[in-house]
Structures are given as structure tokens and as C-alpha cells.
Amino acid sequence: MRLYRRVEWGYKKTFLSGAFTNAERQTDVEVVLIKVQCPENVERVSILLDGLKRAEEQEESRREEKEPRSLMDSNPIRAAISQCRLEQKLGLTLIAEYEAMKPHILEHIPADEEEKRYNEPLIKIDIKPNAYIQAIRKKYWVALFHNPYFVDQLTSNLQRELHENVNEMRHYDFSEVNILALQAELSRKLIAGVKATMIELFDELSRKHHWCDETSANIHYFNGWKTNKAWKINRKVILPLYGLSTYSTGSVYFNHGACHKLCDIEKCLDFLGGNRMTGVSAAACLRHAERCGRTKKIQLKHIQVTLYKKGTVHIEFQNQDLLDQLNIFGCQQKNWLPPGYGKTAYEDFDEEARSVVDSFQGETAYRETCRRQDLFINRVESMPLLALTGV
């Protein structure tokens, strides 16, 4: 079967009068010169691709008759799964066709069977089926791990883990079942990952960058439990993240490391708030600000950010409750707060514990913490597994 596609070519007709005036035999002939403009790129039709697409459409139609298509079928990850499946079938079909045709497209006409054995084909396809399948799988896993629709919810440490293991993923089919299994595994790791990131951020937003007068306002010192060296994060923080760079044209771009750090702060605060990554992601807000050339007072969900060319990033927390939760969590992990903090009444503490409470929060704020302990104390302990979306 041959497939033809009609192509419209532009042409120009020119009538040439008297073209044969000097001919030996005089005849009344009308000559027309036609100039045809051939398009440079004529779309080529693949018989294999056309056949596979028709088979795929028929299979999809039969599947829809048995099971109605869900609303999630229109998302980009499902579309990528379908495209990956098509590419695999197309490549395997092409390799099989090549192997069947190879004896008929040799460089030389063989004199005998022995010469035919060592005769190379004019067209060479060296890749083997298994290697081709693995290459296709890896290509789509890499695309998935860079897809904001899938990874924007993950902290940067989990994103790094995905990229480090991407080469291993070529051994696994790029399918809905495997993506869901990966999401379940990420969900189990996410809580531990968020807690580890919160401890890291608590240190970085306080102790790590309190080394000069400019950033000494990052932290509030207090007398900790069984120690006189303790601190918590203030509402305004200055970090030397070197988040802003400029091109020679004058346009600006945001440093990826600084953006990852800001996104991690947002994700941790989102978990503390129990919102589980709803709304526009911090990464999307930063990308929009970068495109607009905006560097000051960039409003994210929980923080406001200003980036300066001198290398500092100014962060202002917009929700005092979330900042208090982060401080309580970080200080509890450091054992700077008395046991039972937030669950023990102020008057039930001994004098030493009350002095720590007074230095850290104050009596009035502590009583409010006890009254709202489900928000300030139990939230991190009872974090549910995240139901990642995307498939």
C-alpha cells in the first residue's frame, strides 16, 4: 500500500510568442514556460507511524468502551505516557523492518553465501531493541523529573535524589503504575525529608548566617533549656545567597540555588500550615518575577523576598503563626525547650523551665501556644502522607 499526500506548489506561466520563428519547418506552435516553486520541506508520510497511530486509536477506542476515560487523562503526564508507548512501538517496528530488509540492501552483490555473510548493508541501524527501549525510558523519566507539574511539591533534597537515580530508571517502564509507585515512595520519604529540611533551614536562617553585623538581626537569642546558648529566627532575615545576576544586556536572572532555598522555605511553611502545596507554587512565582525583571518585594505564599545585586536576599515572614511553629520545631529538635513544651501549663513548670519560657516566648504567648497546641505542637508530629498529584 502506498500513501500519497497532495502538495500545493506555486507556479507561474509565461507565454513565449514567436519561439520557433527561425525553425527550418515553420509551424504554428504556442509555447508556454511554466516556472514551478517547489517547497523546500515537503512533509513526509511514514507508513509505519500512520499504521501504529491507527492501531493505537482503535485500541484506545476499545478501552474507552470498556472503561470511561477519567478527567485526569488530559494532564501532561498521561500524554507523555502515551507518547512514550508510541515511540517504543515505532522504534521496535523500525528495527524489525530493518533486520528483515538488511539482506536486500547490501553494499555489494554477493558472489556466494560466504561473501553475503560479511557484506555490510548500505543503511546502518546499530541500536539493539533493549538499548532503544532503555534510551526511550530514560528520556521520559528525565523529562518527568524536570516537570514542575510533578516535582514542584518536592523539597530540593528529594529532587536531587531523583536526578541522581535517573540513570537507574531506564530499567523501569515509563507507565502509570510505576509513576504511581514512585509517587507513593516519595510520599513516604517526603515527611522525613521535610523535617530534615526544616532543621537545616532553622540552622541556616539563624546560626549559620549570624556572622556579621549586617545579618546579626536574623536571630533572637534566649537562655535555652540546660544551656545559655540558644536562638530562634526573627521575622526578618538576611541571607548571603547571591540570588541575583545580570547579563551584559542589563536583564537579570535568579540563581537556581537561591530559588531552591526559597522554595524549600515555602514548602516547609506550607506543611506547617497544613495546606499541602495548594495554590501557585513558589517556583512559578519566582519564574514570573524573573521574566518581568522584578527583584524587590516579590510576594510568595508565606514570605516576601527582595534580591540585591550585592549578594544578599532579604526575607520577611508574612505569617507569625508559621514562624512560631518553625521556631518551636527547631528548638525542640535542639532540646532547647523544656520537656512537655506547649502541653504543660505555665504554672506547672518549675522556676528554671519558666525562665526558659519567658526568654523564648513570654508567658502570654506561651499560654496561647498551649491553647492552640494542635497548631503549634501536634502539627509536625501528625503530618499525614502527602497525596502527590500528577497522574
From first to last of the 391 residues of the chain, give the pLDDT tens digit: 344 444 455 667 777 776 666 666 666 667 777 776 655 554 555 666 666 667 666 666 555 544 444 333 447 888 889 899 999 998 998 988 888 888 888 877 767 666 666 678 888 888 899 999 999 999 999 998 888 777 777 777 778 888 888 888 899 999 988 988 888 887 777 777 778 888 888 888 877 665 444 445 677 788 888 887 888 888 988 888 877 766 555 667 788 888 888 888 888 888 887 765 555 678 888 888 888 888 899 999 899 999 888 888 899 999 998 999 899 888 888 889 998 888 889 999 999 999 999 999 899 999 998 888 777 766 655 554 444 444 4
In the prediction, which pLDDT does 389 show? 45
Cβ pair 90, 49 in contact under 8 A: yes
Q: Is residue 46 part of a domain?
A: no
Of 189, 216, 246, the last residue of a domain is 189
Whole-number Å distance between alpha carbons of 99 and 119 = 14
Cell numbers that stand for 24 in this block? 527550418
Q: Which helix (H) or strand (E) holds 12?
A: strand 10-16
User: Do 327 and 224 meet the contact criterion of CB atoms below 8 Å apart?
Assistant: no
Amino acid, single-letter form, for residue 381: E
Q: Is there a domain that residue 386 lies in? A: no
Q: Specify whether 158 is located in the same domain as 268.
A: no
This prediction has a pTM of: 0.58
Q: Domain for residue 84, yes or no? A: yes
Residue 222, all three cell numbers: 534566649
**Domain encompassing residue 258:** 200-381
Query: Both 204 and 181 in a single domain?
Result: no
Q: Are residues 326 and 376 in the same domain?
A: yes
| 255 and 297 belong to one structural domain | yes
Same structural domain, 84 and 232: no
Beta bridge partners of 232: 220
Look at the chain and report how many structural domains it folds into.
Answer: 2
In a shared domain, residues 151 and 251: no
Helix, strand, coil % in the chain, rounded to nearest 5: 50, 10, 35
Q: Do 337 and 365 lie in a common domain?
A: yes
Instruction: Measure the CA–CA gap between 125 and 147, rounded to whole angstroms.
Output: 31
- What is the distance between the alpha carbons of residues 332 and 377, in angstroms, rounded to a whole number? 10
pLDDT score, position 27: 63
* Whether residue 103 is found in the same domain as residue 222: no
Query: For residue 259, is it within any domain?
Result: yes
Same domain for 299 and 229: yes
Looking at residue 26, its pLDDT comes to 62
- Last residue in a domain, options 140, 155, 189: 189
Q: Does any domain span residue 67?
A: no
Q: What's residue 275's pLDDT?
A: 64
Does any domain span residue 57?
A: no
Sign of the Cα pseudo-torsion (318, 236, 297, 291, in order): negative
Domain closes at, from 189, 217, 235: 189
The answer to whether 252 and 290 have CB atoms below 8 angstroms apart is yes
Q: Are 170 and 145 in contact (CB under 8 A)?
A: no
Q: What is the phi/psi pair of residue 372, to 5°?
A: -115, 40
Q: How far, in whole angstroms, is CA 241 from its chain's centroid?
A: 22
Same domain, 185 and 209: no
Distances (CA, A) of 259 to 118, 141, 243, 275, 281: 58, 23, 7, 21, 12
Residue among 376, 305, 373, 310 nearest 345 (CA): 373
327 falls within a domain: yes
Angle at alpha carbon of residue 170, lines to 165 and 174, rounded to 5°: 105
In a domain, 177, yes or no: yes
- Residue 373, pLDDT score: 79
Q: Residues 210, 332: one domain?
A: yes
Which grid cell sits at 281? 507554587
Q: Do residues 134 and 96 share a domain?
A: yes
